[in-house]
Structure 1
Amino acid sequence: MASTVETKEIVGDLSAGEAKLYDRQLRLWGVEAQQKLRATNVLIAGLDALGAEVGKNVVLTGVNSVTLLDHRNLTSKDLPGQFMAPCDANGQNRATASIERLSSLNPNVKVSSVEKNLSDVEDEFFNAFSIVCVIDYPLEIVNKVDIICKSKGILFLSADTFGSFGYMFTDLGESFKCHSEHSKREKDGSETKTVQHHEVSFKSFQEAVPFGKFASADCLGQKQKTNKVFLLSLLKDDLVTSNLKADDLELLVDRLADLGTKYNLAPDCLPFSLLADAAFDQMKGRAEVAAVLGGVIGQEIIKIASRNDKPFNNFFSYNAVNCVANVVTL
């Protein structure tokens, strides 16, 4: 019979109730990692389907607090992917409508909401958080918040989904220290554990990607050129406007060709083949893409908070059409 974690090991840090609740997690990553998680305060800005998945995964890990921020109200496009909001919450604020269900998943985690536009909050607002995760916001706002977080030493992630695709970007600063453990079974049946210490450098969003402009085709590295989901995510805000929706496929193809000319990008690196499956506006609530990407982001937040294992550096993309994921170091 499997034994539970001894309460005496964690007196003064985790309660007996927490030890029981997090028993499986304590077996996976240990008491010290769980203590670090419990001291972590997370901001999730953007409560679409992906934000709901990330919120669920983060609350279940047992962090200290999760703050939900969004200025937008729920529409039919958010459902059913935004499962943290009740079905009858249409028209309500996306963050506030998600509090009750998220809180019920883990009463040990403080869950609150802020009904503000991320672009309007003061720099000091971010001081309360260890990790900031920005979802479903334009790249200009992603860049702005990353600059603020980097100046304050706050760990930063951003993500978005569009149709059958999604991405995550991570900026953990110039010197992120973590460790990884490896076990080896000896011939006599004993187990030997070794610990490796790592110091990883992350580029900022502005440093890592050709933000808003491409001076020449050479400014995209070869890996970035071949990762068309990455390129599509960078061009998404330019491709989709209030006058051009994803169902205007022929116009979308023309717009992408124009952007290629504008940014001096080679035609063979442009993601024409992905446009039909991108369906940017109509499929914002695709639950299967949000579930996969939300699981990855939840796992990355565990790594970041606990300092166990090396996080992805910097860009993770997911292509649900081919079930392919890539990590691109920018």
Structure 2
Amino acid sequence: MISKTLSEDEIKLYDRQIRLWGMEAQTRMRGSRVLVVNLTSVGCEVVKNLMLGGIGAITVIDSFKVLDQDLNANFFIDKTQVGQPKVLAAEARIKDLNPRVNLTVSTDDWQEKPEDYFLSYNLIVATGLDKTQLTRLNAITRKLKIPFYATGTHGLYGYIFVDLIEHESSVKYEKNPTPKKVGELSPTSEIVSITEVVENDVELQNCIVKTRFVPLSEIFINNYDKLKYYFPTPRKLKKISPVLPILLALLEIPSQIGKPIEDVAIDAKELESKVAEVVSRLKLPEEIIRPELVEKLAQQAFCEFQPVSAIIGGAVSQDLINMLGRRELPLNNFVVLDGFTNEMPIYTL
């Protein structure tokens, strides 16, 4: 049984972060049960951040064994544990981060779990899955009304997908020069109520914003109407990162996690064909397809690079904490990390 209140000791322990994101967010974290699917490199970052942040309970499910390549991307294991089940090898070091957190690990294959297995969680984070796997898991989270994050990395590149179904958060805007009004804020969000406050002699509007999300399956169909809102002209469409359609295309390829990286071979021409399909579906300009970039991502596909995982994992964890505390607008709904250009745009697909 997880306590949904903070003890005096916990308030002292988490004092600095309570000052940062507030007592409500910390209390909600204390009462949350999170499932992390796969202890990939980015999965390690998410688990680390949630453990140190004081989540109530976390389960890590991963059916793979430790490979030599994991030693460069997983700070919970060492070379003596190569060949062991990954989560069992990492369990003790994860627990050491924060003994107050109720930690459970499982070597089962999540795909063999019945639907009611997921009912005990109020948040699910999946890492390293492909489109077929993600679509299936996302369908379950939607049916059970569980917020869902999915993420993965490919060398210097990575992505985050978010489906909170429907979420309300508190956002403060300066009242002047243009006050906000109750009503539509964007195609996916609306202001449902406004309270005026004054902080440090500045007039603010505390707005309750309702944000709507779509399942992963919908971002693979023609979403031009949404893109058109944010990129209304052909010139602005050209500003969309060329990495976006490549990352979406890589999701079409069966997941390669748990496989020795030397055995992973992604055909650049085949990937370019999948990228062209994505570009066509999203009605993006054809010149967004960069063959040299496609080849680069084909070479880096499914490689785990710790600095990239740290950025992606940090972004997921911060958004998750904001979501629990109902603070700020959540990521909606597809984030692209380009580690080569140091850009991290958010696209509503």
Distance in 1 (alpha carbons) for counterparts of 2:164 and 2:153: 22
1:158-210 Cα shifts (integer Å, max 9, x gaps):
0000111000000001x2111124689x9996576652211000011112233
Residue 229 (structure 1) aligns with: 243
Residue 317 (structure 1) aligns with: 336
Residue 62 (structure 2) aligns with: 70
The alpha carbon displacement at 1:96 in A equals: 2.3
Distance in 2 (alpha carbons) for counterparts of 1:135 and 1:49: 9
1:24 to 2:16 alignment: yes
What does residue range 110-121 of structure 1 map to in structure 2 within 5 Å?
110-121=102-113
Taking structure 1 as reference, are residues 196 and 152 closer, same or farther at Cα in structure 2, changes over 3 Å only?
A: same
Choose which of 302, 305, 317 in structure 1 pairs with 2:324: 305
Please say if residues 246 and 282 of structure 1, whose CA atoms lie closer than 8 Å, have aligned partners that are also in contact: no
Choose which of 137, 140, 143 in structure 1 pairs with 2:129: 137
1:97 to 2:89 alignment: yes
Please say if residues 240 and 246 of structure 1, whose CA atoms lie closer than 8 Å, have aligned partners that are also in contact: no
Residue 149 (structure 2) aligns with: 157
Name the SS for the 1:116 alignment partner.
coil
Taking structure 1 as reference, are residues 260 and 87 closer, same or farther at Cα in structure 2, changes over 3 Å only?
A: closer
1:208 to 2:222 alignment: no
Distance in 2 (alpha carbons) for counterparts of 1:203 and 1:160: 19
Aligned-pair Cα RMSD in Å? 3.2
The alpha carbon displacement at 1:300 in A equals: 1.1
Distance in 2 (alpha carbons) for counterparts of 1:241 and 1:43: 19
Please say if residues 249 and 275 of structure 2, whose CA atoms lie closer than 8 Å, have aligned partners that are also in contact: no
The runs of at least 4 consecutive aligned structure 1 residues that moved more than 4 Å come to 181-184, 186-194, 216-225, 237-242, 245-249, 260-264, 279-283
What does residue range 166-315 of structure 1 map to in structure 2 within 5 Å?
166-173=158-165, 175-181=166-172, 194-210=205-221, 221=227, 226-238=240-252, 252-259=267-274, 265=280, 267-278=286-297, 284-315=303-334
1:36 to 2:28 alignment: yes
Name the SS for the 1:107 alignment partner.
coil
AA aligned opposite 1:297: V
1:90-141 Cα shifts (integer Å, max 9, x gaps):
1122222222111111111111111122222111111011110000111111
Structure 1: gaps spanning 5 or more residues: 1-11, 211-215
The more displaced of 272-281 and 158-167 is 272-281
Name the SS for the 1:77 alignment partner.
helix
Structure 2: gaps spanning 5 or more residues: 176-196, 232-236
Q: How many residues align?
A: 309
Distance in 1 (alpha carbons) for counterparts of 2:346 and 2:30: 28
Please say if residues 182 and 194 of structure 1, whose CA atoms lie closer than 8 Å, have aligned partners that are also in contact: yes
TM-score, scaled to structure 1: 0.83
TM-score, scaled to structure 2: 0.78
AA aligned opposite 2:31: A
Name the SS for the 1:141 alignment partner.
helix
AA aligned opposite 1:176: H
Taking structure 1 as reference, are residues 326 and 246 closer, same or farther at Cα in structure 2, changes over 3 Å only?
A: farther
The alpha carbon displacement at 1:63 in A equals: 1.0
Please say if residues 141 and 148 of structure 2, whose CA atoms lie closer than 8 Å, have aligned partners that are also in contact: yes
> Percent sequence identity over matched residues?
24
